[in-house]
Amino acid sequence: MDDKKVFISVLITSFFGPFMASSVNVAIPSMALEYGVNAENLTWVLTLFLLGAVAFLLPCGKLADIKGRRKIYQIGCIGVALSTLFCIFTSDLKTLLLFRFIQGVCMSMNFSTGMAMLIASNPPQKRGQIIGYSAACVYLGLSLGPVIGGALTEFLGWRTIFIFTAAGMSMSIYIMHFVKQEWYGNQKEKLDIPSSLLYALASSSVLYGLSDYVSHPLMKWLVVLGLIFGALFIARQKYTKYPLFTLNLFKNTIFAMSNLAALIHYSATFGISFVLSLYLQIIRGLDPLNAGILLLLQPIMMSILSPFAGALSDKFEPRLVASSGMTLTAAGLFSFSTIANNTSFYYIGSILLIIGIGFALFSSPNNNAIMGSVQPEFYGVASSILAAMRMFGQATSMAIVSLLLSIYTTNIIPAEYLTSLLSGMQQIFLVLAITCTIGIFCSMVRGAKKNN
Protein backbone atom coordinates (compact mmCIF):
# COMPACT_ATOMS: atom_id res chain seq x y z
CA MET A 1 0.00 0.00 0.00
CA ASP A 2 2.90 2.38 0.72
CA ASP A 3 4.05 1.95 -2.86
CA LYS A 4 0.69 3.10 -4.22
CA LYS A 5 0.62 6.08 -1.87
CA VAL A 6 4.13 7.09 -2.89
CA PHE A 7 3.15 6.67 -6.54
CA ILE A 8 0.11 8.95 -6.16
CA SER A 9 1.91 11.54 -4.04
CA VAL A 10 4.89 11.80 -6.39
CA LEU A 11 2.59 12.06 -9.41
CA ILE A 12 0.70 14.92 -7.74
CA THR A 13 3.97 16.73 -7.07
CA SER A 14 5.13 15.95 -10.61
CA PHE A 15 2.00 17.73 -11.84
CA PHE A 16 2.02 20.85 -9.66
CA GLY A 17 5.71 21.76 -10.03
CA PRO A 18 5.46 22.18 -13.83
CA PHE A 19 1.92 23.56 -13.50
CA MET A 20 3.24 26.41 -11.40
CA ALA A 21 5.95 27.19 -13.98
CA SER A 22 3.73 27.07 -17.07
CA SER A 23 0.79 28.90 -15.48
CA VAL A 24 3.05 31.73 -14.32
CA ASN A 25 4.28 32.05 -17.92
CA VAL A 26 0.91 33.32 -19.15
CA ALA A 27 0.55 35.55 -16.09
CA ILE A 28 3.80 37.44 -16.79
CA PRO A 29 2.18 40.34 -18.73
CA SER A 30 -0.39 40.81 -15.94
CA MET A 31 2.33 40.78 -13.29
CA ALA A 32 4.34 43.28 -15.32
CA LEU A 33 1.31 45.60 -15.51
CA GLU A 34 0.68 45.39 -11.76
CA TYR A 35 4.31 45.97 -10.78
CA GLY A 36 4.94 48.59 -13.47
CA VAL A 37 7.85 46.90 -15.24
CA ASN A 38 8.52 45.57 -18.75
CA ALA A 39 7.47 41.97 -19.34
CA GLU A 40 11.02 40.82 -20.16
CA ASN A 41 12.13 41.89 -16.66
CA LEU A 42 9.78 39.27 -15.24
CA THR A 43 12.05 36.46 -16.49
CA TRP A 44 13.39 36.62 -12.94
CA VAL A 45 10.09 35.20 -11.67
CA LEU A 46 11.07 31.98 -13.46
CA THR A 47 14.84 32.26 -13.23
CA LEU A 48 15.06 32.68 -9.44
CA PHE A 49 12.80 29.67 -8.91
CA LEU A 50 15.16 27.62 -11.07
CA LEU A 51 18.25 29.06 -9.37
CA GLY A 52 16.94 27.99 -5.97
CA ALA A 53 16.18 24.50 -7.25
CA VAL A 54 19.52 24.03 -9.03
CA ALA A 55 21.68 25.35 -6.18
CA PHE A 56 20.27 22.91 -3.62
CA LEU A 57 19.53 19.80 -5.70
CA LEU A 58 22.69 17.79 -5.03
CA PRO A 59 22.95 18.71 -1.33
CA CYS A 60 19.28 17.81 -0.81
CA GLY A 61 19.74 14.53 -2.66
CA LYS A 62 22.71 13.61 -0.49
CA LEU A 63 20.87 14.66 2.66
CA ALA A 64 17.93 12.47 1.61
CA ASP A 65 20.22 9.44 1.27
CA ILE A 66 21.41 10.02 4.84
CA LYS A 67 18.23 11.13 6.63
CA GLY A 68 15.63 9.34 4.49
CA ARG A 69 14.13 10.20 1.12
CA ARG A 70 10.54 10.17 2.33
CA LYS A 71 11.37 12.58 5.15
CA ILE A 72 13.17 15.08 2.90
CA TYR A 73 10.44 14.76 0.27
CA GLN A 74 7.76 15.59 2.85
CA ILE A 75 9.70 18.58 4.18
CA GLY A 76 10.03 19.83 0.62
CA CYS A 77 6.29 19.53 -0.02
CA ILE A 78 5.49 21.49 3.14
CA GLY A 79 8.03 24.17 2.23
CA VAL A 80 6.62 24.56 -1.28
CA ALA A 81 3.07 24.84 0.05
CA LEU A 82 4.00 27.52 2.60
CA SER A 83 6.18 29.62 0.28
CA THR A 84 3.46 29.43 -2.37
CA LEU A 85 0.93 30.78 0.12
CA PHE A 86 3.27 33.66 0.96
CA CYS A 87 3.47 34.54 -2.76
CA ILE A 88 -0.25 35.31 -2.63
CA PHE A 89 0.24 38.20 -0.22
CA THR A 90 3.29 39.87 -1.77
CA SER A 91 2.81 43.58 -2.37
CA ASP A 92 6.06 44.24 -4.26
CA LEU A 93 8.14 42.46 -6.87
CA LYS A 94 11.24 41.95 -4.70
CA THR A 95 9.26 40.04 -2.07
CA LEU A 96 7.65 37.89 -4.75
CA LEU A 97 11.07 37.06 -6.19
CA LEU A 98 12.34 36.12 -2.72
CA PHE A 99 9.53 33.62 -2.18
CA ARG A 100 9.95 32.26 -5.70
CA PHE A 101 13.57 31.50 -4.80
CA ILE A 102 12.44 29.77 -1.60
CA GLN A 103 9.92 27.77 -3.63
CA GLY A 104 12.77 26.55 -5.80
CA VAL A 105 14.87 25.53 -2.79
CA CYS A 106 11.98 23.52 -1.34
CA MET A 107 11.07 22.01 -4.70
CA SER A 108 14.66 20.74 -5.03
CA MET A 109 13.86 18.37 -2.13
CA ASN A 110 11.05 16.88 -4.19
CA PHE A 111 13.00 16.70 -7.44
CA SER A 112 15.93 14.92 -5.78
CA THR A 113 13.82 12.24 -4.06
CA GLY A 114 10.61 11.60 -6.03
CA MET A 115 11.99 9.55 -8.91
CA ALA A 116 14.35 7.61 -6.62
CA MET A 117 11.39 6.47 -4.51
CA LEU A 118 9.36 5.55 -7.61
CA ILE A 119 12.19 3.49 -9.09
CA ALA A 120 13.01 1.76 -5.80
CA SER A 121 9.39 0.67 -5.27
CA ASN A 122 8.83 -0.86 -8.73
CA PRO A 123 10.45 -3.77 -10.64
CA PRO A 124 13.13 -2.99 -13.30
CA GLN A 125 11.00 -4.34 -16.15
CA LYS A 126 8.42 -1.62 -15.48
CA ARG A 127 10.93 1.18 -14.91
CA GLY A 128 10.35 2.90 -18.24
CA GLN A 129 6.58 2.71 -17.89
CA ILE A 130 6.64 4.16 -14.36
CA ILE A 131 8.94 6.95 -15.49
CA GLY A 132 6.53 7.51 -18.38
CA TYR A 133 3.58 7.99 -16.01
CA SER A 134 5.62 10.45 -13.96
CA ALA A 135 6.59 12.32 -17.12
CA ALA A 136 2.95 12.30 -18.25
CA CYS A 137 1.97 14.13 -15.05
CA VAL A 138 4.79 16.61 -15.61
CA TYR A 139 3.50 17.36 -19.09
CA LEU A 140 -0.12 17.37 -17.95
CA GLY A 141 0.89 20.09 -15.50
CA LEU A 142 2.61 21.93 -18.32
CA SER A 143 -0.43 21.53 -20.57
CA LEU A 144 -3.12 22.53 -18.09
CA GLY A 145 -0.98 25.31 -16.61
CA PRO A 146 -1.46 27.79 -19.47
CA VAL A 147 -5.20 27.07 -19.71
CA ILE A 148 -6.04 27.07 -15.99
CA GLY A 149 -3.47 29.80 -15.31
CA GLY A 150 -4.81 31.90 -18.17
CA ALA A 151 -8.39 31.54 -16.95
CA LEU A 152 -7.46 32.28 -13.33
CA THR A 153 -5.39 35.31 -14.37
CA GLU A 154 -8.09 36.72 -16.62
CA PHE A 155 -11.09 36.23 -14.30
CA LEU A 156 -9.67 36.10 -10.75
CA GLY A 157 -6.15 37.55 -10.95
CA TRP A 158 -2.72 35.94 -11.17
CA ARG A 159 -2.43 35.37 -7.40
CA THR A 160 -5.06 32.62 -7.57
CA ILE A 161 -2.52 30.50 -9.47
CA PHE A 162 -0.57 30.19 -6.22
CA ILE A 163 -3.72 29.37 -4.24
CA PHE A 164 -4.46 26.48 -6.60
CA THR A 165 -0.85 25.23 -6.39
CA ALA A 166 -0.78 25.37 -2.58
CA ALA A 167 -3.99 23.34 -2.42
CA GLY A 168 -2.51 20.68 -4.71
CA MET A 169 0.72 20.38 -2.73
CA SER A 170 -1.34 20.00 0.43
CA MET A 171 -2.94 16.89 -1.09
CA SER A 172 0.50 15.38 -1.66
CA ILE A 173 1.49 16.18 1.93
CA TYR A 174 -1.66 14.49 3.25
CA ILE A 175 -1.14 11.28 1.24
CA MET A 176 2.56 10.98 2.09
CA HIS A 177 1.74 11.38 5.78
CA PHE A 178 0.36 7.83 5.79
CA VAL A 179 3.47 6.27 4.19
CA LYS A 180 5.45 4.29 6.77
CA GLN A 181 8.30 2.93 4.66
CA GLU A 182 11.56 4.87 4.39
CA TRP A 183 14.27 4.74 1.70
CA TYR A 184 17.93 5.42 2.39
CA GLY A 185 21.21 5.49 0.51
CA ASN A 186 24.04 5.23 3.02
CA GLN A 187 23.02 6.40 6.49
CA LYS A 188 26.62 6.26 7.74
CA GLU A 189 27.76 9.06 5.47
CA LYS A 190 27.66 12.79 6.27
CA LEU A 191 26.73 15.85 4.25
CA ASP A 192 29.95 17.55 3.15
CA ILE A 193 29.25 21.23 3.84
CA PRO A 194 32.21 22.65 1.84
CA SER A 195 31.15 20.62 -1.23
CA SER A 196 27.57 21.82 -0.83
CA LEU A 197 28.68 25.46 -0.61
CA LEU A 198 31.00 25.15 -3.62
CA TYR A 199 28.26 23.53 -5.69
CA ALA A 200 25.66 26.16 -4.70
CA LEU A 201 28.06 29.03 -5.38
CA ALA A 202 29.17 27.57 -8.72
CA SER A 203 25.70 26.90 -10.11
CA SER A 204 24.06 30.11 -8.90
CA SER A 205 27.01 32.34 -9.93
CA VAL A 206 27.14 31.02 -13.48
CA LEU A 207 23.40 31.20 -14.07
CA TYR A 208 22.87 34.55 -12.35
CA GLY A 209 25.81 36.04 -14.20
CA LEU A 210 24.54 34.87 -17.59
CA SER A 211 21.03 36.15 -16.89
CA ASP A 212 22.16 39.64 -15.87
CA TYR A 213 25.19 40.09 -18.16
CA VAL A 214 23.61 42.55 -20.62
CA SER A 215 22.32 44.92 -17.93
CA HIS A 216 25.54 44.66 -15.93
CA PRO A 217 28.58 43.68 -18.07
CA LEU A 218 30.67 43.17 -14.92
CA MET A 219 28.59 40.04 -14.36
CA LYS A 220 30.96 38.23 -16.74
CA TRP A 221 33.38 38.05 -13.81
CA LEU A 222 30.67 36.39 -11.74
CA VAL A 223 30.43 33.71 -14.44
CA VAL A 224 34.20 33.24 -14.34
CA LEU A 225 34.05 33.03 -10.54
CA GLY A 226 31.31 30.42 -10.82
CA LEU A 227 33.42 28.30 -13.16
CA ILE A 228 36.28 28.48 -10.66
CA PHE A 229 33.96 27.34 -7.87
CA GLY A 230 32.78 24.53 -10.15
CA ALA A 231 36.35 23.35 -10.76
CA LEU A 232 37.03 23.43 -7.01
CA PHE A 233 33.83 21.46 -6.37
CA ILE A 234 34.80 18.72 -8.84
CA ALA A 235 38.33 18.57 -7.43
CA ARG A 236 37.00 18.17 -3.90
CA GLN A 237 34.82 15.22 -4.92
CA LYS A 238 37.97 13.25 -5.72
CA TYR A 239 39.42 13.28 -2.22
CA THR A 240 36.69 14.15 0.30
CA LYS A 241 35.46 11.25 2.42
CA TYR A 242 31.80 12.06 1.75
CA PRO A 243 31.41 13.43 -1.82
CA LEU A 244 28.04 14.76 -2.99
CA PHE A 245 28.26 12.31 -5.89
CA THR A 246 30.71 9.68 -7.12
CA LEU A 247 32.70 10.86 -10.12
CA ASN A 248 33.11 7.23 -11.20
CA LEU A 249 29.49 7.27 -12.31
CA PHE A 250 30.51 9.47 -15.21
CA LYS A 251 32.96 6.84 -16.45
CA ASN A 252 29.82 5.01 -17.57
CA THR A 253 29.26 6.33 -21.10
CA ILE A 254 25.51 5.71 -21.01
CA PHE A 255 25.11 7.61 -17.74
CA ALA A 256 27.40 10.50 -18.74
CA MET A 257 26.08 11.07 -22.27
CA SER A 258 22.43 10.58 -21.29
CA ASN A 259 22.78 13.25 -18.61
CA LEU A 260 24.54 15.56 -21.07
CA ALA A 261 21.74 14.96 -23.58
CA ALA A 262 19.17 15.85 -20.89
CA LEU A 263 21.06 19.04 -20.02
CA ILE A 264 21.20 20.11 -23.66
CA HIS A 265 17.59 19.17 -24.43
CA TYR A 266 16.16 21.15 -21.52
CA SER A 267 18.47 24.06 -22.33
CA ALA A 268 16.96 24.07 -25.82
CA THR A 269 13.29 23.66 -24.90
CA PHE A 270 12.36 25.19 -21.54
CA GLY A 271 12.25 28.78 -22.84
CA ILE A 272 9.80 27.93 -25.63
CA SER A 273 6.58 28.54 -23.69
CA PHE A 274 7.88 31.77 -22.11
CA VAL A 275 8.90 33.26 -25.46
CA LEU A 276 5.71 32.14 -27.20
CA SER A 277 3.61 33.53 -24.36
CA LEU A 278 5.19 36.96 -24.90
CA TYR A 279 4.81 36.59 -28.67
CA LEU A 280 1.14 35.64 -28.55
CA GLN A 281 0.14 38.32 -26.05
CA ILE A 282 2.44 41.24 -26.88
CA ILE A 283 3.08 40.78 -30.61
CA ARG A 284 -0.25 39.18 -31.58
CA GLY A 285 -2.54 40.71 -28.94
CA LEU A 286 -4.13 37.50 -27.58
CA ASP A 287 -5.56 37.49 -24.06
CA PRO A 288 -3.99 35.15 -21.44
CA LEU A 289 -6.70 32.48 -21.83
CA ASN A 290 -6.48 32.16 -25.61
CA ALA A 291 -2.69 32.25 -25.49
CA GLY A 292 -2.81 29.46 -22.91
CA ILE A 293 -5.12 27.35 -25.05
CA LEU A 294 -2.73 27.52 -28.01
CA LEU A 295 0.28 26.76 -25.81
CA LEU A 296 -1.64 23.72 -24.54
CA LEU A 297 -0.88 21.76 -27.72
CA GLN A 298 2.75 20.95 -26.99
CA PRO A 299 2.49 19.61 -23.41
CA ILE A 300 -0.80 17.79 -23.99
CA MET A 301 0.92 15.79 -26.74
CA MET A 302 3.80 15.15 -24.35
CA SER A 303 1.47 13.88 -21.61
CA ILE A 304 -0.40 11.56 -23.97
CA LEU A 305 2.68 9.96 -25.51
CA SER A 306 5.08 9.79 -22.52
CA PRO A 307 3.79 6.48 -21.02
CA PHE A 308 3.91 4.93 -24.49
CA ALA A 309 7.44 6.25 -25.09
CA GLY A 310 8.58 4.99 -21.68
CA ALA A 311 7.15 1.52 -22.32
CA LEU A 312 8.73 1.56 -25.79
CA SER A 313 12.14 2.14 -24.23
CA ASP A 314 11.63 -0.96 -22.03
CA LYS A 315 11.50 -3.03 -25.23
CA PHE A 316 13.79 -1.16 -27.62
CA GLU A 317 17.05 0.76 -27.41
CA PRO A 318 16.37 3.98 -25.41
CA ARG A 319 19.01 5.98 -27.30
CA LEU A 320 17.29 5.38 -30.64
CA VAL A 321 13.87 6.41 -29.32
CA ALA A 322 15.29 9.43 -27.49
CA SER A 323 17.44 10.57 -30.41
CA SER A 324 14.50 10.47 -32.83
CA GLY A 325 12.56 12.64 -30.41
CA MET A 326 15.35 15.18 -30.11
CA THR A 327 15.54 15.37 -33.91
CA LEU A 328 11.85 16.30 -34.11
CA THR A 329 12.33 18.92 -31.41
CA ALA A 330 15.25 20.51 -33.29
CA ALA A 331 13.19 20.62 -36.50
CA GLY A 332 10.37 22.41 -34.66
CA LEU A 333 12.75 24.98 -33.15
CA PHE A 334 14.27 25.74 -36.55
CA SER A 335 10.74 26.30 -37.87
CA PHE A 336 9.99 28.79 -35.08
CA SER A 337 13.15 30.79 -35.90
CA THR A 338 11.30 32.26 -38.91
CA ILE A 339 8.17 33.27 -36.99
CA ALA A 340 6.71 36.63 -38.09
CA ASN A 341 4.08 39.08 -36.86
CA ASN A 342 1.48 37.49 -39.17
CA THR A 343 2.40 33.80 -38.89
CA SER A 344 -0.68 31.58 -39.02
CA PHE A 345 -1.87 30.28 -35.66
CA TYR A 346 -2.45 26.92 -37.38
CA TYR A 347 1.23 26.85 -38.34
CA ILE A 348 2.27 27.69 -34.77
CA GLY A 349 -0.03 24.98 -33.41
CA SER A 350 1.37 22.39 -35.85
CA ILE A 351 4.95 23.12 -34.79
CA LEU A 352 3.96 22.88 -31.13
CA LEU A 353 2.50 19.42 -31.80
CA ILE A 354 5.74 18.31 -33.49
CA ILE A 355 7.83 19.57 -30.58
CA GLY A 356 5.44 17.85 -28.15
CA ILE A 357 5.89 14.50 -29.91
CA GLY A 358 9.66 14.97 -29.99
CA PHE A 359 9.83 15.87 -26.31
CA ALA A 360 7.78 12.81 -25.30
CA LEU A 361 9.96 10.48 -27.35
CA PHE A 362 13.10 11.92 -25.76
CA SER A 363 12.33 12.43 -22.07
CA SER A 364 11.04 9.10 -20.69
CA PRO A 365 13.45 6.89 -22.72
CA ASN A 366 16.40 9.12 -21.76
CA ASN A 367 15.45 8.97 -18.07
CA ASN A 368 15.06 5.20 -18.38
CA ALA A 369 18.56 4.95 -19.88
CA ILE A 370 20.02 6.96 -16.98
CA MET A 371 18.31 5.07 -14.18
CA GLY A 372 18.97 1.74 -15.90
CA SER A 373 22.70 2.41 -16.16
CA VAL A 374 23.33 2.42 -12.39
CA GLN A 375 22.95 -0.11 -9.60
CA PRO A 376 19.99 0.26 -7.17
CA GLU A 377 22.20 1.69 -4.39
CA PHE A 378 22.92 4.68 -6.65
CA TYR A 379 19.29 5.45 -7.54
CA GLY A 380 19.21 8.42 -5.19
CA VAL A 381 22.44 9.88 -6.56
CA ALA A 382 21.38 9.26 -10.16
CA SER A 383 17.98 10.83 -9.54
CA SER A 384 19.59 13.94 -8.03
CA ILE A 385 22.08 14.31 -10.88
CA LEU A 386 19.32 13.85 -13.47
CA ALA A 387 17.19 16.47 -11.70
CA ALA A 388 20.23 18.78 -11.57
CA MET A 389 20.76 18.36 -15.30
CA ARG A 390 17.09 19.10 -15.97
CA MET A 391 16.91 22.14 -13.72
CA PHE A 392 20.31 23.47 -14.78
CA GLY A 393 19.19 23.08 -18.39
CA GLN A 394 15.95 24.93 -17.67
CA ALA A 395 17.81 27.72 -15.91
CA THR A 396 20.32 27.89 -18.77
CA SER A 397 17.44 28.16 -21.23
CA MET A 398 15.99 31.10 -19.31
CA ALA A 399 19.47 32.67 -19.14
CA ILE A 400 19.70 32.44 -22.94
CA VAL A 401 16.23 33.99 -23.26
CA SER A 402 17.04 36.80 -20.81
CA LEU A 403 20.37 37.52 -22.48
CA LEU A 404 19.00 37.73 -26.03
CA LEU A 405 15.85 39.65 -25.08
CA SER A 406 18.00 42.19 -23.25
CA ILE A 407 20.30 42.55 -26.26
CA TYR A 408 17.40 43.24 -28.61
CA THR A 409 15.21 45.42 -26.37
CA THR A 410 17.64 47.51 -24.30
CA ASN A 411 17.73 51.23 -25.22
CA ILE A 412 15.16 50.78 -28.00
CA ILE A 413 12.79 53.66 -28.78
CA PRO A 414 9.10 52.78 -28.20
CA ALA A 415 8.24 52.86 -31.91
CA GLU A 416 10.75 50.09 -32.64
CA TYR A 417 10.11 47.99 -29.54
CA LEU A 418 7.82 45.36 -31.09
CA THR A 419 10.05 44.91 -34.14
CA SER A 420 13.13 44.48 -31.98
CA LEU A 421 11.30 42.12 -29.62
CA LEU A 422 10.26 39.91 -32.55
CA SER A 423 13.82 39.86 -33.89
CA GLY A 424 15.03 38.79 -30.47
CA MET A 425 12.51 35.97 -30.38
CA GLN A 426 13.61 34.72 -33.80
CA GLN A 427 17.24 34.73 -32.68
CA ILE A 428 16.33 32.86 -29.48
CA PHE A 429 14.65 30.06 -31.42
CA LEU A 430 17.62 29.80 -33.79
CA VAL A 431 20.10 29.50 -30.90
CA LEU A 432 17.88 26.92 -29.16
CA ALA A 433 17.58 24.92 -32.40
CA ILE A 434 21.36 24.80 -32.85
CA THR A 435 21.74 23.76 -29.21
CA CYS A 436 19.23 20.94 -29.67
CA THR A 437 21.03 19.73 -32.80
CA ILE A 438 24.24 19.34 -30.79
CA GLY A 439 22.29 17.25 -28.29
CA ILE A 440 21.30 14.73 -30.98
CA PHE A 441 24.94 13.72 -31.33
CA CYS A 442 25.32 13.26 -27.55
CA SER A 443 22.19 11.13 -27.49
CA MET A 444 23.35 8.85 -30.30
CA VAL A 445 26.85 8.09 -28.99
CA ARG A 446 25.78 7.00 -25.49
CA GLY A 447 25.89 3.25 -26.31
CA ALA A 448 23.53 0.32 -25.73
CA LYS A 449 21.50 -0.05 -22.55
CA LYS A 450 22.42 -2.35 -19.70
CA ASN A 451 19.79 -4.23 -17.75
CA ASN A 452 20.06 -4.23 -13.93
DSSP collapsed to 3 states, 432-443? HHHHHHHHHHHH
Q: What is the pLDDT of residues 388-414, one digit of tens each?
A: 787 778 778 877 887 788 788 766 766
Q: What is the mean pLDDT of the chain?
A: 83
pLDDT of residue 429: 94
Return d(Cα 387, Cα 442) in angstroms, integer. Answer: 18
What's the whole-number mean pLDDT along residues 279-306? 83
Determine contact, residues 391/207, Cβ cutoff 8 Å: no
Is residue 451's pLDDT more than 70? no
pLDDT of residue 357: 92
> What's the pTM value of the predicted model, to 2 decimals?
0.77
pLDDT of residue 173: 92
What's the whole-number mean pLDDT along residues 279-304? 83
Position 225 confidence tier, pLDDT thresholds 50, 70, 90? very high
Of 111 and 235, more confident: 235
Residue type, 418: L
Return d(Cα 230, Cα 248) in angstroms, integer. Answer: 17
Whole-angstrom CA distances from 148 to 27, 107, 160 are 11, 21, 10
Is residue 323's pLDDT more than 80? yes
Return d(Cα 135, Cα 362) in angstroms, integer. Answer: 11
Is residue 120's pLDDT more than 70? yes
> Sign of dihedral through CA atoms 286, 287, 290, 291?
positive
Determine contact, residues 23/273, Cβ cutoff 8 Å: no
